[in-house]
């Protein structure tokens, strides 16, 4: 399964009028990072960065002046995300902005079944919270000390680590996955390792006769329908 853990930075909080100015993404294949990333800054046209948003991400209007417009980055965006699920923290916010941008240029929205919200996952897994990205990094021992301001690619990289941990960590996979890149295409092969062996002789019981008799008496009090009665012989 291919997933893109992504994040956006915007000019403000209202997707009907504000614009996406940065997109970062990290590719996962079967919940393992492939090393491929996506990162662009975007010129929002005549929409200025709100001071509150500037305080969060530090991206200025002057910095964005020579960056490509959203329609210009769409081809590379579609190529990177094609066939993958979209994974975001508080996905309602990010997808609201992404779908608003797509709508402005006549493209259909991303189907809801392709979106995974890690905030919803975190709230189910840790109902007492807190479940911000910084809080989850602390919970899972992920170093986010270099996150002095929000940044789409940095936040995507941190979220990818958090997401993997929420799914059970790297040890959750029942096999070894190797990733090979061929001309920007990622091919994964999974090798399932089965480990089995036979002992030279069976291990005998370590229970004393007194312990066996005591257990039998306890089982007898459970009645004929007690499940333990099946294992007395």
Which candidate, 109, 8, 93, 99, places its Cα nearest to that of 57?
8
Contacts of 113 (CB under 8 A, 6+ apart): none
Task: Compute CA 102 distance to the chain's CA centroid, rounded to the nearest angstrom.
Answer: 23
Backbone angles phi, psi at 137, to 5 degrees: -60, -45
Reply yes or no on whether 150 is catalytic. Answer: yes
Residue-wise DSSP of 33-72: EEEEEEEEE---TTPPPPHHHHHHH---HHHHTTSPPHHH
Catalytic residue among 39, 146, 150, 215: 150
The residue ranges of DSSP E strands in 62-109, in sequence order, are 85-88
Which residues are catalytic, by number?
A: 150
């Amino acid at each position: 399964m291919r997933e893109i853990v992504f994040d956006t930075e915007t000019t403000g909080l209202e997707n009907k009028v504000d614009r996406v100015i940065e997109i970062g993404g990290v590719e996962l294949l079967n919940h393992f990072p492939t090393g491929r990333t996506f990162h662009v800054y975007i010129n929002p046209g005549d929409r200025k960065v709100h001071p509150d948003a500037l305080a969060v991400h530090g991206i200025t209007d002057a910095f964005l002046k020579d960056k490509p417009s959203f329609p210009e980055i769409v081809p590379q965006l579609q190529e990177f995300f094609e066939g993958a699920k979209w994974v975001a923290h508080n996905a309602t916010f990010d997808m609201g902005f992404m779908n608003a941008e797509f709508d402005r240029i006549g493209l259909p929205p991303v189907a809801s079944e392709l979106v995974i919200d890690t905030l919803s996952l975190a709230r189910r897994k840790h109902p007492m919270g807190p479940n911000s990205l910084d809080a989850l990094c602390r919970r899972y021992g992920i170093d986010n000390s270099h996150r002095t301001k929000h940044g789409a690619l940095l936040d995507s990289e941190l979220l990818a680590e958090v997401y993997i941990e929420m799914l059970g960590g790297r040890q959750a996979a029942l096999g070894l996955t190797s990733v090979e890149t061929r001309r920007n295409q990622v091919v994964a092969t999974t090798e399932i390792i089965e480990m089995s062996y036979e002992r030279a002789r069976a291990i005998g019981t370590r229970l004393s006769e007194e312990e066996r008799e005591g257990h039998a008496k306890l089982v007898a009090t459970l009645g004929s329908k007690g499940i333990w009665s099946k294992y007395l012989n």
